[in-house]
Amino acid sequence: MRLNRLPRWIVSAALLSLVLAVATLVNPPTALLQAGTSGPVLLGPSDEGRRVELRADQFLELRLEANPAAGYGWYVEDMDAAVLRQVGEPEIDGTPAILGAPTTVTLRFSPQAAGQSPLVLAYRRPWEEAAPLRTYSVQVSAAGAYQGLVDLDAAAQAPAVAAPAAAAGDTAAAGLPSALNWCTEVGCTPVRDQGNCGSCWAFGTAGVLEQNIRILEGVSKDLSEQYLLSCNVDGWSCAGGWWAHNYHMSKVPPGEPGPGAVYEGDFAYVATGVDCNPPHSHYETIGDWKYVTTANGVPSVAELKQAIYDHGPIAVAVCAGSRFSSYSGGVLTAGDTCDNPVNHGVILVGWDDSLGPNGAWILRNSWGPKWGEAGYMNIAYGISNVGYGATYVVRGSMPHEPSAPAGLQAAGRSTSQIDLSWIDTSGNELGFRIERSTDGSSEWKPMATVGANVQAWSDTSLPVATTYYYRVQAFNDAGSSPYSNLAMSRTWPNPADVDESLYLPLIARSAR
């Protein structure tokens, strides 16, 4: 059975096949000389168009350049499945120690039976229907089904990937909500598309500042990634880079009037390294930026959550391979492996502990809104080194609702006074609202509002021998906390109404 894909670019493919056929008549493909040993027959870019002969103890191994960090990879377009089959997922080899750099991917194919088969690969994004950027083809002649010593299926098995054991319980320990998504809290700017350029580092850098502005100022700003791509003096380009927050804080390229972000309208993205052509107008700046822990590691789930909660969406690195690029929905629980160990820059906008085996991050990509779930992904904690080299920017304090007061107590102090006390569990409240009820379930009435850090209040001018219920709520500009626990107390009875016989034994006992 032939595996033929019929994309929209069928006309272009047909013309390409015709050109290749004519070229073959003029220059017939030469047989690739085979080594005498069993195992892989290695092919590279220079072997394009050749005829390959495979013995039964040999398999095909292709090593081609690709940039998984831009979402591109090599995918089978034409192959006779009765003769050949692809083994496992493409492997990412030789990943440079920067984000967005092109690398080498290895694809393996095993003979299934004696026969002839074309092998045509297309370099493209799996979710797009556009014509591939380039193709690669060879003609394979197999002597028979593979019977070599290497167990290809076992070697191709994806490594077991599990969420960290502590992931399920660290939310309660950190005192954080079980879910947070800044896109639903305040909204997110539109998802961008880096195109066929390894500029994910620039999109991660600009994206976290855009979200900070959105959270703190309530407006959407489109910041220029091209400015970072074209004007940086670190040698970063479409061939890769690293977080460029310094250019939004203090670093000034030659010819520029100062640091800070440039607007997209002043320097539009073109997905290639055009000249900087200074100067540009600079608008948005940051006060500081920091790594959550270190540039060369993955912080704990609790540390990443705390950074997102305190500082808004964070820029992180991840290993992006074929599983990552083929994601179309749900929770990604089987990740990719990079030998560096990451290759792609993204943004984490939140988390949800109810997703996946132990919870998942809400990841924002820069591959356009047609990838994943409208440009976003749910990726399980601990998958694909997500969170590596995590950074956040500091522009102002994030507006969070305060947490609920704890340990509310009420005690009658006289015939007309009940005293309240509670524990302030927040550091960001503007004050506390105190409410009272006569039955603890209905007709709650506001009684008083006190300032921040206050932890006591007295209810006075009350009738004698009357029971009241109380609850307290913290508030700030972002909203109100949940209510505290309920506390109940009773004012003292009128002394003239007290049955002294009930108190005489106590008085006598205390006098001894």
Please pick, among 344, 358, 378, 385, the residue that the annotation labels catalytic: 344
Task: Judge if 327 and 412 occupy the same domain.
Answer: no
The CB density around residue 11, as the number of other CB atoms within 10 Å, is 9
Beta carbons of 489 and 462 less than 8 angstroms apart: no
Task: Judge if 369 and 297 occupy the same domain.
Answer: yes
Dihedral sign for Cα 215, 216, 217, 222, please: negative
Task: Judge if 371 and 277 occupy the same domain.
Answer: yes
Let me know if residue 507 belongs to a domain.
no
In this prediction, residue 93 carries a pLDDT of 83
Task: Judge if 375 and 440 occupy the same domain.
Answer: no
In this prediction, residue 229 carries a pLDDT of 98
**Catalytic residue flag (residue 232):** no
Task: Judge if 410 and 390 occupy the same domain.
Answer: no
In this prediction, residue 495 carries a pLDDT of 80
Let me know if residue 33 belongs to a domain.
no
Beta carbons of 66 and 74 less than 8 angstroms apart: yes
**Catalytic residue flag (residue 200):** yes
Single residue among 373, 394, 415 that ends a domain in this structure: 394
Let me know if residue 414 belongs to a domain.
yes
Task: Judge if 285 and 387 occupy the same domain.
Answer: yes
Let me know if residue 53 belongs to a domain.
yes
Task: Judge if 209 and 341 occupy the same domain.
Answer: yes
Task: Judge if 198 and 105 occupy the same domain.
Answer: no
Please pick, among 232, 365, 378, 385, the residue that the annotation labels catalytic: 365
C-alpha to C-alpha distance for 248 and 251, rounded to whole angstroms: 7
Which CATH number do you get for residue 370? 3.90.70.10
Which CATH number do you get for residue 476? 2.60.40.10
In sequence order, the 6+-apart residues with CB closer than 8 A to the CB of 440 are 469, 486, 488
Let me know if residue 415 belongs to a domain.
yes
Task: Judge if 105 and 241 occupy the same domain.
Answer: no
Average confidence (pLDDT) per 10 residues, the chain, 512 residues: 47 45 47 65 95 93 96 97 94 85 95 96 96 97 87 58 47 74 95 98 98 94 98 97 98 97 98 96 95 95 95 97 95 89 97 95 98 98 96 85 93 96 91 96 93 96 96 92 95 76 44 42
Q: Which residue has the tokens 């047909």?
A: 14
Rounded to two decimals, what is the model's pTM? Answer: 0.78
Domain count within the chain? 3
Segments forming the whole domain that contains residue 373:
179-394
**Catalytic residue flag (residue 340):** no
Let me know if residue 21 belongs to a domain.
no
Task: Classify residue 89 as exposed, middle or buried by CB count within 10 Å of its CB (0-12, 13-18, 19+).
Answer: buried
C-alpha to C-alpha distance for 496 and 498, rounded to whole angstroms: 6
Task: Judge if 357 and 389 occupy the same domain.
Answer: yes
